[in-house]
Amino acid sequence: MTLTMGKALNAALRDALREDDSVVVFGEDVGPLGGVFRVTDGLTAEFGEERCFDTPLAESGIVGLALGMAMNGFRPVVEMQFDAFAYPAFEQLASHVAKMRNRTRGAVGLPMVIRVPYAGGIGGVEHHSDSSEAYYAHTPGLKVVTPATVADAYSLLREAIADPDPVVFMEAKKLYWSKDETGLPVRTAPFGTAEVRRAGSDATLLAYGPTLPVALQAAEAAAGDGRQLEVIDLRTLVPFDDETVAASVRRTGRCVVVAEASGFASVSAEIAARVQERCFHSLWAPVLRVTGWDIPYPPPVLEKYHLPGVDRVLDTVDRLQWDDAPDSRFLSGAAT
Amino acid sequence: MTTQAEHRMPTAALPADASGLLPAAEPIRFLDDDGGPAPGDAHGRYQRPATELLRQAYRAMVVGRRFDSQATALTKQGRLAVYPSSRGQEAGEIGAVLALRDTDWLFPTYRDTMALVSRGIDPVEALTLLRGSWHCGYDPTTTRTAPQCTPLATHAPHAVGLAYAARRRGEDTVALALVGDGGTSEGDFHEALNFAAVFHVPVVFLVQNNGYAISVPLSRQTAAPSLAHKGVGYGVRGERVDGNDPVAVLAVLGDAVESARAGGGPVLVEAHTYRVEPHTNADDDTRYRDHDEVEMWKRRDPIARLEAHLRTAGELTDDDVSAAREAAEAFADDVRTRLGEEATGDPADLFAHVYAEPTAQLREQARWLAEELAHEHGAGEAR
């Protein structure tokens, strides 16, 4: 059956609500409206206002309420309407949600999911396109998951809801309308498992969420030029699958990380560091990154200059020292 | 999960009559500053609590104060990293605990260790945070007491969520969140009251207004007529009580908790009290308040007031007072002895509880630390 990612997420919530009475869905406009992206469409009608309901417009309160419910037998799945609207909840996430199990020495676990529609490419005006994954991934105690395929959207969300720990579930907005063939329910690889989406022997592209389609298109184009790029979908940023990533890079000897978030102090920076730590003796070139610039997310008219695209990925692959020449971009003095 | 006949889903309906939500013009009192009867109708519609509850409160307050002074002493000996005293606030600390059933939940702050031990939590477990050997030393699920919260008012929404969950299952659990006057300025205080009202949650917010947020006086926190007046903006009933009058505190909190339990929705109680000690042992309160002010409040001592009241009523004897003091000394002896031992911690714990199952990265880092420690140990033995 052909399905959009949005519908797969909706089906995951529906199936979780059906199978487990302790699951509740709440947030802003998730009730009769079905969420601004319609991910909760029809849930209030099917399960009633007690299972899927609107709250006051206050993200910290939403996450705090969810925490209290999770302490007392429920599995809340809350929606932060947009990436940048989740920031008021950050203290709850960083100081409480992430730490509760640890500070109580395991006595209190928090099975809860915080869904965050994130990243750009949809022409959103200011505050609607942030790639905020690094904030969460940098916070020990949170799991951070971001599906890039329709089947993963369903399976990873089901796994997130069943997980005993809090999961920040990041949904790339521009992929909500992406389509794929998949039967439901579907079970894909578990958390902590990266997937090779395209095999290749010349270089490894590491991507997640919104940049997976970009990496796959770049690999297709590179194949036309005779370069076989392996594309890995990271799927879960925390826990991170070092093994699959390192095994691929040791084989190909070259690696590019493709991420939409700004590069400085980012998830892509962490990944590049990890790859170099683990694969130094196998590398023919430094690990390079294609990321958004280190700028506040641009207005819609200018976002095409910010987002990593196929050409930028291919240009970066070209700089992987195929002829052993130094990368001119990073020659001494080039930055000034 | 049972469905909940009495659970009320959010509606647009707001209370029509705001006046029913407003606190009394003056804080509720039963006692004057010396423990004599407060004049006239100062106790409003409230009834004097049962004598046995007052006697129980007296004993707990005497023990609580002795515990508090012992903890302060332990900071001077380096046995505790820090201790925020609640001396002078015994009525609120003990009143909150006595208003709750064992099945209810308490959501305390860092200043409420006295309430923890009064709730029966082992003092060594209760002082774990301030001793620095772990963050929360007791099991919240068995003690029905949330971890002490340090970031102000951020625990208030948790109390709402927990009580809401209980109500949805048809349980009669009430949650009581302790907050200070400074905490009422935080956004989470606002969000918690708002959510509690909208979802009609059985939760009581007890604001112990002790006059200062570290050094900043109440006048810099709010321009509201009182902190209890903040309730009306959310549709939450507010009440003010003399926080150094244990009779009034027990009466008002008992009423608030049972009202919430009976389905009356959330209640906001402001207890007017005073932090007799500095913010913590590390604070210098002479930089922001006058000694005279402290002395004035010491004369309104909640224990002395209750003792005078009970003695006058013939409900407390010299023997009772002696017994309470002996119990307090025994409690303090136990705390002193057990905290006299050096605090220890197992480095393996650092990685064990971050997730239900440690990630591959955490298992790896735990091994690296263990190797590092084994190496140091080996080097130490070689010397």
To test the contact with chain A by mutation, choose from B116, B158, B188, B346 the residue with the greatest count of A C-beta atoms within 10 A, namely B158
Token readout for A316 is 């970066």
Encode pLDDT of B91-126 as tens digits.
999 999 999 999 999 999 999 999 999 999 999 999
Say what percent of chain B tops pLDDT 70: 95
**B4 domain residue, yes or no:** no
Q: What whole-number distance in Å separates Cα of residue B168 and Cα of residue B368?
A: 46
In a shared domain, residues B55 and B150: yes
CA nearest to B168 within chain A:
A50
Amino acid at A170: M
> Any chain B CB within 8 A of the CB of A68?
yes
Q: What share of chain B is helix, strand, coil (3-state, %, to 5)?
A: 50, 10, 40
Instruction: List phi, psi (to 5°) of B92.
Output: -70, -45
Q: In total, how many domains does chain B have?
A: 2
- Pair (B263, B370) in one structural domain: no
Closest residue in A to B8 (Cα) is A50
Answer whether A100 touches B (CB < 8 Å): yes
Supply φ then ψ for residue B125, to 5 degrees: -65, -40
- C-alpha closest to that of B94 among B238, B339, B306: B306
What secondary structure does DSSP assign to A117-134, as a single string?
EE---S---TTS----HH
Contact A72 B3 (CB under 8 A): no
Q: Which pLDDT band, with edges at 50, 70 and 90, does B4 fall under?
A: very low
How many Å apart are CA B161 and CA B256, to the nearest integer?
Answer: 18
Q: Is A183 on the interface with B (CB under 8 A)?
A: no
Q: For the range A241-246, what are the long-range contacts, defined as Cβ-Cβ under 8 Å and sequence gap of 24 or more? A: A241/A192, A241/A193, A241/A194, A242/A274, A242/A278, A242/B360, A242/B361, A243/B360, A244/A193, A244/A194, A244/A195, A244/A196, A245/A194, A245/A204, A245/A206, A245/A271, A245/A274, A245/A275, A246/A274, A246/A275, A246/A278, A246/A279
Structure tokens given for B234: 């959310």
Residues in A touching B158 (Cβ below 8 Å): 64, 67-68, 71, 96
Please state, in angstroms and rounded to a whole number, the distance separating the CA atoms of residues A174 and A212. Answer: 12
For residue B3, give the amino acid letter: T
pLDDT, tens digit, for every residue of A95-128?
Answer: 999 999 999 999 999 999 999 999 999 999 999 9
B255 in a domain, yes or no?
A: yes
C-alpha A257/C-alpha A166 separation (Å) is 26
Identify the domain containing residue B32 by its residue range. Answer: 18-339
Name the active-site residue from B7, B229, B288, B336: B288
How large is the angle between the packed helices B90-99 and B302-312, nearest 10 degrees?
70
B366 interface with A at CB cutoff 8 Å: no
Residue B176 φ/ψ, nearest 5 degrees: -120, 120
Contact B183/B149 with Cβ under 8 angstroms?
Answer: no
- Same structural domain, B78 and B99: yes
Rounded to an integer, what distance in angstroms lies between the CA atom of residue B262 and that of residue B256? 10
Report yes or no on B8 lying in a domain.
no
**Alpha carbons B125 and A5: distance in angstroms, whole number:** 48
A125-134 mean pLDDT: 97
CA gap B356, A102 in Å, rounded: 9
Q: Which of B245, B98, B164 is nearest to A26 (CA)?
A: B164
How far is the C-alpha of A297 from the C-alpha of A292, rounded, in Å? 9
Subunit contact A64:B161, Cβ cutoff 8 A? yes
Q: Torsions phi, psi of B102, nearest 5? A: -60, -30
**A125: closest CA of chain B, how far (Å):** 26
Which residues, at least 6 apart from A283, have a Cβ–Cβ distance to it below 8 Å?
Answer: A249, A253, A254, A255, A275, A276
Q: How confident is the model at residue B381 (pLDDT cuts 50, 70, 90)?
A: low
Query: Which residues sit opposite A206 in a β-bridge?
Result: A232, A257
**B146 contacts B107 by C-beta, under 8 angstroms:** yes
Residue in A with minimal Cα distance to B173: A72
The CA distance from A310 to A271, in Å, is 20
Q: Which of B:89-108 have CB within 8 Å of A?
A: none
Are B181 and B301 in the same domain?
yes
CATH of the domain at B273: 3.40.50.970
- B218 shares a domain with B84: yes
pLDDT at position B16: 59
- A193 near A244, Cβ under 8 Å? yes
Tens digits of residue pLDDT in A274-330: 999 999 999 999 999 999 999 999 999 999 999 999 999 999 999 999 998 888 888
- Judge whether A15 is closer than 8 Å to chain B, CB to CB: no
The CA distance from B28 to B240, in Å, is 6
Same domain, B372 and B232: no
Q: Is A102 on the interface with B (CB under 8 A)?
A: yes
Q: How confident is the model at residue B6 (pLDDT cuts 50, 70, 90)?
A: very low
- The residue annotated as part of the active site, out of A128, A138, A281, A306, is A128
CA distance A105 to chain B (A): 6
Q: Which residues of A touch B155 (CB under 8 A)?
A: 96
Residues B253 and B356 in one domain: no
Residues of A in contact with B154 (CB under 8 A): 64, 91-92, 95-96
Backbone phi and psi for residue A92, each to the nearest 5 degrees, phi listed first: -60, -40
pLDDT in tens, A207-257: 999 999 999 999 999 999 999 999 999 999 999 999 999 999 999 999 999
Q: Answer yes or no: do B152 and B218 share one domain.
A: yes
Residue B273 placed within a domain: yes
Both B127 and B151 in one domain: the answer is yes
Residue B233 near chain A (CB below 8 Å):
no
Q: With 60 as the cut, is the pLDDT of residue A30 above it?
A: yes
Question: Could you say which DSSP state residue B28 is in?
Answer: B
Residue B162 lies in a domain: yes
Q: How far are the Cα atoms of B31, B32, B38, B302, B321 from residue B309, in angstroms, in the given order?
A: 8, 10, 11, 11, 13
Confidence of residue B342 (pLDDT cuts 50, 70, 90): confident
**Pair B274, B374 in one domain:** no
How many residues does this entry show for chain A? 336
Establish if B145 belongs to a structural domain. yes
List, for residues A165-221, the tens digit of each pLDDT value: 999 999 999 999 999 999 999 999 999 999 999 999 999 999 999 999 999 999 999
- Distance CA(B346)–CA(B340), nearest Å, equals 19
Between B3, B135, B191, which is nearest A60 by CB? B191
The answer to whether A283 touches A253, Cβ cutoff 8 Å, is yes
Asked if B134 is an interface residue toward chain A (Cβ–Cβ < 8 A), one would say: yes
Residue recorded with tokens 């505050």: A127
Distance in angstroms (rounded) separating the CA atoms of residues A112 and A97: 9
Q: Same structural domain for residues B257 and B366?
A: no
> Whole-angstrom Cα distance, residue B97 to residue B257?
11
Best of A23, A30, A44, A69 to substitute, by most chain B Cβ atoms within 10 angstroms, is A69
Beta strands at A52-54 and A143-145: parallel, antiparallel or unpaired:
unpaired
The C-alpha of B19 sits at a distance from chain A's nearest C-alpha, in angstroms, of 24
A102/B187 touch (CB, cutoff 8 Å), yes or no: no
Closest residue in chain B to residue A99, using alpha carbons only = B354
Does B196 fall in a domain?
A: yes
Domains located in chain A, CATH noted: 2-181 (3.40.50.970), 195-324 (3.40.50.920)
Q: What is the pLDDT of residue A330?
A: 85
ipTM: 0.95
- Which pairs count as long-range contacts for A179-183, CB under 8 Å and 24+ apart, including other chains? A179/A2, A179/A3, A179/A4, A179/A150, A180/A2, A180/A3, A180/A5, A180/A149, A180/A150, A180/A151, A181/A1, A181/A2, A181/A3, A182/A1, A182/A3, A182/A8, A182/A150, A182/A151, A182/A154, A183/A1
**Is B361 in CB contact (< 8 Å) with chain A?**
yes
Average pLDDT over residues A84-90: 97
For residue B15, the model assigns a pLDDT of 55
What pLDDT does B1 receive?
Answer: 38
Chain B residues 136-155 within an 8 A CB cutoff of chain A? 136, 139-141, 146-147, 151, 154-155
B357 and B232 in a common domain? no
Question: Does residue B197 lie within any of the structural domains?
Answer: yes
Q: Which residues neighbour B110 within 8 Å (Cβ) at sequence distance 6 or greater?
A: B84, B129, B130, B148, B149, B150
Examine the residue annotation and report whether B275 is marked as an active-site residue of this protein.
Answer: yes
What does the pLDDT read at residue A135? 98
> Residue A88 is encoded by which pair of tokens?
């008021």
Q: Copy the structure tokens of residue A276.
A: 């170099």
Give the pLDDT score at B14. Answer: 54
Phi-psi region at B122: left, alpha or beta (left = phi > 0; alpha = psi -120 to 50): beta
pLDDT tens for B137-195 read 999 999 999 999 999 999 999 999 999 999 999 999 999 999 999 999 999 999 999 99
Token pair listed for A80: 């932060």
